[in-house]
Amino acid sequence: MTRAMVAPLAIRAPQVPGIDRVLTPEATAFVRRLHDRFDGRRRELLAAREERQRRLDAGERPVFLEETRAVRDADWRVAPAPADLDRRTVEITGPVDRKMMINALNSGADVFMADFEDSLSPTWENVIAGQVNCQDAVRRTLSLDAGGKQYRLNERLATLVIRPRGWHLPEKHVLVDGEPVSASLFDFGLFFFHNAAETLARGSGPYFYLPKMESHLEARLWNDVFVFAQEQLGVPRGSIRATVLIETILAAFEMDEILYELREHAAGLNAGRWDYIFSMIKKFRTDPNMVLPDRGEVTMRVPFMRAYAQLLVKTCHRRGAHAMGGMAAFIPTRKDPELNEKALAKVRDDKVRESRDGFDGTWVAHPDLVAVARTAFEEVLEGRPHQKQVLRQELHIQPHQLINVRIPDTGVSHAGVEQNIAVALHYIDSWLRGVGAAAIYNLMEDAATAEISRAQLWQWLHHGVELTDGGRMTAELYRSARTEQLERVRAELGDAPNRLDEAAELLDRLVLSGQFEAFLTLPGYEMLD
């Protein structure tokens, strides 16, 4: 195929290991073609997000779109799942760190989502190393000798699925005409260029998880990217399969439409619970009637989360797509057997609920949770690869149910304020040091949970909520609690290198500003190498 010559990308970054293997002239030319073809539309859709937010701030509330009623009413189905994505009982997620990837691929899970997004701190070194690690994983050459241990891939591995960064994120080290390229197109383009043909040759395919979408038009853009990429590289159309994370409240109103736009490439939807909670806070931030209580009170059993999960299962199964459950973030510990047993019981209960709701599989963050989750689902699946026969036709979810945040006998406490501050400080410090998946208080935290923490602090302060144990949330209370929690976290880190002072400055900026910052990773990214 003859292709027009394009000017190369401008790389404004240091040499790091693997860069010559990843940023080959052919690969960067492919990313440039993606940029030239699609970045204008990406920017238009981001501007549409801002306009929609202005309407929400003015009191508009989402509804099922009248202009797409025909799509919702029509009888259509997504493409059948390929063999290695048909059984997805347990999926494990983690960053594209070499050791973590080996452990995840060997974990016994059915699928491993290798994450360039919420669990990766996008330093230049991490991004390039992640692409190298993905190439090696596809070719089964991924290995590591570290700390006197050898890490090698097993014979049986989880199916590899890649999560690129979201539409809103830039890759500042790679420029076109002085402007950064889309991190989504960069991550997707490099993986697809280097690995699409190889995955197909090995009986799998180029599989992706798509994050942070807010409308079916954003899904349409992804589908057009997929069609173009396959045509450019001579990859059979439909080889790409994508699972969409429904992790924004606006996307929940367009699940049918999102699957429809991606129908020849769609593999399912996932209930991305932590980002979904963050989205509820962000989108309705100006409404005092939409204030959420302490983070620990916002479970999958509260009204708006329950309605969202049920609608996701119903939508997916009507269309022949997989419905994937949410994350179990607990990190087992040998130091506290009592804590372990209580936490594992909660994980089991959560996975039993998902399986009985009709989900086809679920997510875990740690290899030790794979067996717990699998057992809960296998009791319902009874040997089947999924339960798409569970159609949930008795459910008729209405718009008001998806935004019902009334949770009786809950509120905002001093302990909730302190916990959010501590988690945010711990995580931002870790992220600034280049570690995007951080073990904090026996939970695997990523950017989504840090977003909840700082967004709740902003929401509580902005609305001056009354605390259940006395007083009101004010800037003074926040500053006092932040000072105390900073010292607590500093003591917990001990002599380990940290960037806590910078983390505290960023958290102050996010919480005390009169304007809500859309994503903490945007100002945070400017502080990374």
Q: List residues with catalytic annotation.
A: 163, 446
Task: Tell me whether residue 471 is exposed, middle or buried, using C-beta atoms within 10 angstroms of its C-beta: 0 to 12, 13 to 18, 19 or more.
Answer: exposed
Note whether 325 and 300 are within 8 A (CB).
no
Q: 438 forms bridges with which residues in the sheet?
A: 445
Note whether 385 and 449 are within 8 A (CB).
no
- CA–CA gap between residue 482 and residue 484 (Å, rounded): 5
Provide the b/e sequence for 363-377 (b: ≥16 CB within 10 Å): bbbbbebbebbbebb
28: how many CB neighbours lie within 10 A of its CB?
22
Report the first-to-last Cα separation within the chain, whole angstroms: 38
* Helix (H) / strand (E) containing 270: strand 266-271
- CA–CA gap between residue 87 and residue 361 (Å, rounded): 8
Considering only the C-alpha atoms of the chain, give the largest distance between any 2 of them, rounded to a whole number of Å. Answer: 71
- CA–CA gap between residue 360 and residue 368 (Å, rounded): 20
Provide the b/e sequence for 45-84 (b: ≥16 CB within 10 Å): beeebeebbeebeeeeebebeeebeebeeeeeebeebbeb
- Eight-class DSSP state of 330: B
Note whether 214 and 282 are within 8 A (CB).
no
Strands 179-182, 170-176: pairing kind: antiparallel
Provide the b/e sequence for 227-250 (b: ≥16 CB within 10 Å): eebbebeebeeebbbbbbbbbbbb
Distances from the Cα of 412 to the Cα of 124, 296, 417, 458, angstroms: 39, 10, 7, 13
Angle at 138 between CA 136 and CA 143, to 5 degrees: 35
Count Cα atoms within 13 angstroms, Cβ side, for 51: 6
Task: Tell me whether residue 44 is exposed, middle or buried, using C-beta atoms within 10 angstroms of its C-beta: 0 to 12, 13 to 18, 19 or more.
Answer: exposed
SS3 256: helix
Note whether 444 and 365 are within 8 A (CB).
yes
Q: 467 forms bridges with which residues in the sheet?
A: 412
* Helix (H) / strand (E) containing 176: strand 170-176
